[in-house]
A and B are shown apart, each in its own frame.
Chain A
Amino acid sequence: DARVTQTPRHKVTEMGQEVTMRCQPILGHNTVFWYRQTMMQGLELLAYFRNRAPLDDSGMPKDRFSAEMPDATLATLKIQPSEPRDSAVYFCASGLVWQANTEAFFGQGTRLTVV
């Protein structure tokens, strides 16, 4: 049963620390999304990649967030330094894009708490 795998599932960290979240997309999927979910803002798109190249990261605070795909099986989202307002659930999703058909399958999310 193919699924998107995110690690860690939960992370509690102190303000100022670096946080790295990892995502293993479904094998063969060429599009990867990072979303953030909060009560106030709902689901916000932070960044997305196609064929490992970043296509849009306009939703991401550039000064502290960075997203990369070192290879086709790993996507990372890094926050440095973390702040309490970064507390949220971060979802990774992957999809097989064909003629603009973006059907994304989501991981279980990483619940981040910054204290």
Chain B
Amino acid sequence: AQKVTQAQTEISVVEKEDVTLDCVYETRDTTYYLFWYKQPPSGELVFLIRRNSFDEQNEISGRYSWNFQKSTSSFNFTITASQVVDSAVYFCALSGITGGGNKLTFGTGTQLKVEL
């Protein structure tokens, strides 16, 4: 069984602060993929990043960075110098080869509020 835990339900920061969203996962698959999605107030789910289980290199994309640590089963997401436009719900998700098929299992999401 796959499970994704996002323990932070809601985070509020002031603009320009750095913020880290935590994600812990469980899987029995040896090959799996981790994802982050953003859901802005408009409601659509926007794909942000995918990482595979055999590549623990951290990734940076502009103000976004991701820290994948297999030893702690975590895939944390950091936004540097947050902006009001970053306000959204962020979902961590996991996909693995289970039962011959793949499916995305989502965490419960973290609501990020960035205020002026």
Q: Report A's interface with B, CB cutoff 8 A.
A: 31, 33, 35, 42-43, 45, 48, 50, 55-56, 89, 91, 93, 97, 100-109, 111
Residues of B within 8 A of A107 (CB): 44
> Can you show 29 pairs from A to B with CB atoms below 8 A apart?
A33-B103, A33-B104, A42-B106, A42-B107, A42-B108, A43-B106, A45-B104, A50-B101, A55-B100, A56-B101, A56-B103, A91-B45, A97-B102, A100-B31, A100-B95, A100-B96, A100-B97, A100-B102, A101-B50, A102-B33, A102-B95, A103-B47, A104-B47, A104-B104, A105-B47, A106-B45, A108-B43, A108-B44, A109-B43
Interface size on B, residues (CB 8 A): 26
List of B residues within 8 angstroms of A103 by Cβ: 33, 35, 47, 50
What is the predominant secondary structure among interface residues of chain A facing chain B? strand
Rounded to whole Å, the gap between the CB of A3 and the closest CB of chain B is: 9
Is chain B's binding surface mostly helix, strand, loop or mixed?
strand
Residues in chain B near residue A31, CB distance under 8 A: 102
